[in-house]
Structure 1
Amino acid sequence: MLDINELIKKIRQFRDERDWMQFHDHKNMAVSIIIEAAELLEHFQWKEKEEIDEYVEQHRDEIEEEIADIAIYLFELADNLKLDLTWENSLRAANEAKEEVT
């Protein structure tokens, strides 16, 4: 499994090989995340709790693809904004927030 930095490097390479950076500004990336999230949500819309497990099994590949699209856009947006999404940074931020509350 790739770590986040390796994944972001592969996403960057894929984007740059296609000269897509011209289309991947912050707004377009944020919009794309929401569009992909809506496509994921369509899989669950109007389904009863009892139907979900069976539906997921039957549509696993499609659901996986939507989640992957969301993750790719999210990591690329974070990279474009120069945000640090590493686990270590998340833990540090969580600890700092906890210390502020006490």
Structure 2
Amino acid sequence: MSDPFKQLNDALQQFATDRDWDQFHSPKNLAMALTVEAAELQECFQWTTESRSSDLDEKELSAVRDEVADVQLYLIRLAGKLNIDIEQACWDKMVKNAEKYPAHNVKGSSRKYTHYENDTD
């Protein structure tokens, strides 16, 4: 795990240890908590327009910032429990995405990669 993630993981581990919460932090429970926090992030944008979602006021942006942090902290905790190097996993996934979504096939399109599997150009 890269240094910033390791530092946060260590701090999260200490936070959980101090509260005797490690007993609750199974990968399953952390993944479930992560989805709850992601839903709370979505709630910040619920019923808003596309353009409005990019033009949040200070209070709205603060709420989004808190939810982004919650999502990231649960993700770091989950990765720590499973000994996943988040930074390396992200680089590896970028390589896979580049293979799944070659620019010449998908440029300007939002279609899923499976729609391009049979393309020959």
d(CA) in 2 for partners of 1:81, 1:3:
17
Structure 2: 5+ residue runs without aligned partners? 101-121
Residues 22-50 of structure 1: per-residue CA shift (max 9 Å, x gap)? 11111110000000000000111221122
Partner of 1:69: 70
Cα shift at 1:96: 7.0
Give the CA deviation at 1:86.
3.2
Q: Quote the residue 1:37 is aligned against.
A: 38
Higher relative contact order (CA 8 A, sep 6+): 1
Structure 2 length normalisation: TM-score?
0.68
Distance in 1 of aligned mates of 2:27 and 2:70: 16
- Kindly indicate whether the alpha-carbon contact (under 8 Å) linking 1:56 and 1:63 is maintained by their aligned counterparts in 2: no
Change (3 A) 1:49 1:94: closer
Percent pairwise identity: 33
Residue 83 (structure 1) aligns with: 84
Larger radius of gyration: 2
The number of aligned residues is 97
- Give the equivalent residue in structure 2 for 1:4: 5
Gaps of 5+ in 1: none
Structure with greater proportional helix content: 1
TM-score (norm 1): 0.79
Q: 1:10-21 counterparts in 2 under 5 A?
A: 10-21=11-22
C-alpha RMSD over aligned residues: 2.5
